[in-house]
Amino acid sequence: MLSPYRFAEILDIRDSVDSPFRILNFIFPKIMSQPTDHYAALLETVAILRAPGGCPWDREQTHSSLTECLVEECSELLEAIDRNDEAHMVEELGDVLLNVVMQTEIAREVGKFDMEEVCKDINEKLIRRHPHVFEKESFQAENSEDVIKRWDQIKASEKKNGPASEPASPFKPMPPRLPALLFAKKTFKQAQKAELQNHEAIPVDKISKYAALNPGQLAEELFAIAAACRLKDIDPEQLTRTHTQSIIDEISKNSGN
């Protein structure tokens, strides 16, 4: 296979010969014996597939058309993790990474952003949100609770990727495609952080009842509820999501300034 640099020179499809790969030189040199070989080869392969004369299917893809693939690949990765199947984890992590590279390549082709920018952004965010590691003189963390609290404070101060003005609410925005049960779990977690777990909108007695069950018993209850929804021709995902959102709306309505 052509080196990434030679490929860029021949096809002339990259803005800068080294831009997709240069970041690897300082991110990975101490943890990989040959830091750019396989990662750069993946970027090169995806670029070939997307370039003129490449794969018709890959060339037709857009950011939006790949979202379903991303959801499916994440689900398959979660299955491999649940089964502790490390061999398939390698494969499924690769499939998820492929989605990231494809999305980034689509953006790079039209001059929006590239993999270097993606890596730079997440690297800077990790350093910024871990002052207890990278700026020990400014912040000390005694335990994970301190870390999470400081992370949330830094994240809130960034006020990034959201509307300039949002209604006051104790709940942080969550991904719209989050699975319904995870959405409910995270909503209750945020209510706890805001000390609103006893709000009248939250079924405190029922939560206490189920909290006393062991994992097997909880699994039986969840399965029985899902089966009952099937018998009543109800979508349990939509039902759970709608109810959770109603709790958020009710609590946020009178949450203060």
Please tell me the distance from the alpha carbon of residue 183 to that of residue 189, in angstroms, as a whole number: 10
User: 173 in the Ramachandran plot: left (φ > 0), alpha (ψ -120 to 50) or beta?
Assistant: beta
pLDDT, residue 173, reads: 67
Q: By the 8 A CB rule, do 114 and 104 touch?
A: yes
Please tell me the distance from the alpha carbon of residue 116 to that of residue 142, in angstroms, as a whole number: 34
pLDDT, residue 256, reads: 54
Burial of 92 per CB tally in 10 Å (0-12, 13-18, 19+): buried
pLDDT, residue 10, reads: 38
pLDDT, residue 206, reads: 94
Across the chain, which distance is largest between two alpha carbons, in Å? 68
Total-model pTM: 0.57
Please tell me the distance from the alpha carbon of residue 91 to that of residue 210, in angstroms, as a whole number: 37
pLDDT, residue 202, reads: 93
pLDDT, residue 167, reads: 55
Burial of 208 per CB tally in 10 Å (0-12, 13-18, 19+): exposed
Please tell me the distance from the alpha carbon of residue 204 to that of residue 197, in angstroms, as a whole number: 8
Please tell me the distance from the alpha carbon of residue 23 to that of residue 28, in angstroms, as a whole number: 9
Those residues with Cβ within 8 angstroms of residue 246's Cβ, 6 or more apart along the chain or in another chain:
201
pLDDT, residue 3, reads: 43
> What stretches in the chain show pLDDT beneath 50?
1-35, 164-165, 257
pLDDT, residue 8, reads: 41
CA torsion 188-194-199-204 (nearest 10°) is 40
Cα radius of gyration (the chain): 23
The secondary structure element, H or E, covering residue 254 is none
Q: Can you list the domains of the chain with their CATH numbers? A: 4-128 (1.10.287.1080), 168-257 (no CATH)
